[in-house]
Structure 1
Amino acid sequence: MRKWCEVHQVKYSQFYYWWKKFNGVDKQSSCQWLPVTFSDEKEEPSSLLVHVGDAKLEIHHPFDPVLFRQVIKVLNEQ
């Protein structure tokens, strides 16, 4: 178990705690361990939807804050 924990970067004490906790679970239960995979890819932040009067602006990252202020100013004048 220690080698598995080392390879998967899991603290042995945490693994052992959960292993002991679930080791007492009814053996007839349908509980199963499933593999979990992680990705190093960073997700882009979601877009922001801004309503100004009847106009709807969808803002994505990265954006130009100066242009955004100008657009809001123009929309507010209408």
Structure 2
Amino acid sequence: MKRSDLRVEWEQRIATFTASGLSASKWCAANEVSIHQFWYWKKKLKTTEDTFSDSSQWFALEMDDSMEDSQSKIMVHVGQVSLEIEHGFDPKLLVEVVRTLQSIC
């Protein structure tokens, strides 16, 4: 089984568990699933969701020569916060700010 197929299978299992209203141990026993694997996948899928939530969208930004003047700006929206980014910004700082905003929004 491919890793992507296994991931889809566990996403379905976690969704079924959530809808069941059972405790993890009871659901695992009823569905013949290892409790250790269950917690591994539940944590793994939650971490992935946190990192790549449906509301996050990443895209490539290509700049041409006309965009390199000192007056060029872009707007970045994170939740309800808007950031105005000017030419010469610090990319590492922007990443830190966006991550912080995502964690509180």
Q: TM-score, normalised by structure 1?
A: 0.43
Q: TM-score, normalised by structure 2?
A: 0.33
Larger RCO of the pair (alpha carbons < 8 Å, separation 6+): 1
Larger Rg: 1
